[in-house]
Amino acid sequence: MLQPRVGYQNLKDSYLFFGINQKIEAYRNHHPGAHLYRMGIGDVSLPLCDAVIRALHQAVDDQASRDHFHGYMPECGAPFLREAIARFYQDRDLPVTADEVFVSSGASDELGDLLDLFDVSSTALIMEPAYPAYVDANIMAGRKMVYLTAGPENDFLPLPDDRLQADLIYLCSPNNPTGAVCTCGHLQAWVDWANDRGAVILFDAAYEAFVSEDLPRSIFEIPGAESCAIEICSLSKTAGFTGTRLGYTVMPRKLVRQGMNLREMWIRNRTTKTNGVSYILQRGGAAVFTEEGQRQIYENIRVYKENARVLMRALDQAGIRYWGGKNAPYIWMKCPDGMGSWECFDLLLNEIQVVGTPGAGFGACGEGYFRLSTFGDPADTREAAGRLLKLWGKTT
């Protein structure tokens, strides 16, 4: 008799945002027409930039022309995009080559698919609070997980120690949900630990473009990373591709475990399991890496950073403790007055119509915290900041 994957039975009932949406729907049923200030889900609010839109239009026209039409694309990515991404690294003196770059349909898809490379007997290390997909993808696969707790005591950046035993290390910097950003020293500690033990780091750099201080944006800035790390990137938040879908992964050729070259395994995997990302999207993606594209995406990122500044100022004035916001599009706030994180969610929704994300949704140690996203509409963000200050400014 067919046995479905039993891991699915161990998944929690509902995905975090499903629970949030149910509460919002219930609120809307009682308050039809109410405007909500959405600082919850990390989805962008600004459209794709002009350089990308023009490239997408041009690519559609190519597909209408006998001379420029493209059929199946190379499974690992179009050379024009792989080369543009490699140059993006090389311009920062990081020696990534085009054949180490793999174009993907986004970081989520990739974070799930990459698990194909590792035996199910390997153990994954999750630093909580964490992006929920890390945990769920490993539960689905039936893989054992160990957890490290991030908290104010380590500035939400735990370090490895000698007792720790794990094979696959998830590192996310800038972090979702805490907004914490690893320093070079911190990443070096993990790289050394992974190289010593033959572990592999899955470095989620979905928010690298938000680093504005002198902090690492890529794990490949760290000596030794090329023999222990895979970097997973996304154009979702960097360039507004959440609904368009495009990402990339850097898999160095030096990454070898038990005599097996992971990059070669990944090529074999991609050529079997995908037929490449659409030509049109890859043309749009390539425009992000042009000078014009970079200038335009940073105009949008500046808007989100201004949202962060507005929210941080309100929290400062209200005397509420928070992390993130400076080099990350998330603000991780301590719920005031000892409130639980769902209690805080209900209070903000019902009293000031501000929607955030309860910290408990990112793991048990997120209880007592609350995540505010800075991807919202600027006018809504200003209003939400004013409402937060009015609610908490006098009481805390």
Where on the chain is the footprint of ligand PLP (CB under 6 A)?
42, 106-108, 131, 172, 176, 204, 206, 234, 236, 242, 247
Q: Is the CB of 17 or the CB of 298 nearer to ligand PLP? A: 17
Q: In the bound complex, what is the minimum distance in angstroms from residue 339's beta carbon to ligand PLP?
A: 24
Q: Is the CB of 112 or the CB of 224 nearer to ligand PLP? A: 112
Q: In the bound complex, what is the minimum distance in angstroms from residue 1's beta carbon to ligand PLP?
A: 35
Q: Pick from 129, 101, 281, 123: which is nearest to 200 by CA?
A: 123
Q: What is the C-alpha to C-alpha distance for residues 237 and 239, in angstroms, rounded to an integer?
A: 6
Report strand pairing: 357-358 vs 369-373: antiparallel
Q: What is the C-alpha to C-alpha distance for residues 31 and 257, in angstroms, rounded to an integer?
A: 57
Q: Pick from 338, 339, 316, 337: which is nearest to 388 by CA?
A: 316
DSSP strand E in 120-263: where?
123-128, 144-149, 168-172, 200-204, 229-234, 247-250, 256-257, 260-261
Cis peptide bond prior to 174, omega within 30° of 0: yes
Sheet holding 357-358, edge to edge: 322-324, 330-334, 369-373, 357-358
What residues does 126 pair with on adjacent strands?
Answer: 147
Q: In the bound complex, what is the minimum distance in angstroms from residue 389's beta carbon to ligand PLP?
A: 27
Q: 144 CB contacts (<8 Å, ≥6 apart)?
A: 123, 124
Q: Pick from 362, 371, 373, 341: which is nearest to 149 by CA?
A: 362
Q: Is the CB of 204 or the CB of 226 nearer to ligand PLP? A: 204
Q: Is the CB of 133 or the CB of 256 nearer to ligand PLP? A: 133
Tokens of 106: 């986004």
Q: Is the CB of 160 or the CB of 329 nearer to ligand PLP? A: 329
Q: In the bound complex, what is the minimum distance in angstroms from residue 277's beta carbon to ligand PLP?
A: 12
Q: In the bound complex, what is the minimum distance in angstroms from residue 246's beta carbon to ligand PLP?
A: 8
Q: Is the CB of 135 or the CB of 318 nearer to ligand PLP? A: 135
Q: Is the CB of 16 or the CB of 141 nearer to ligand PLP? A: 16
Q: In the bound complex, what is the minimum distance in angstroms from residue 233's beta carbon to ligand PLP?
A: 8
Q: In the bound complex, what is the minimum distance in angstroms from residue 218's beta carbon to ligand PLP?
A: 15
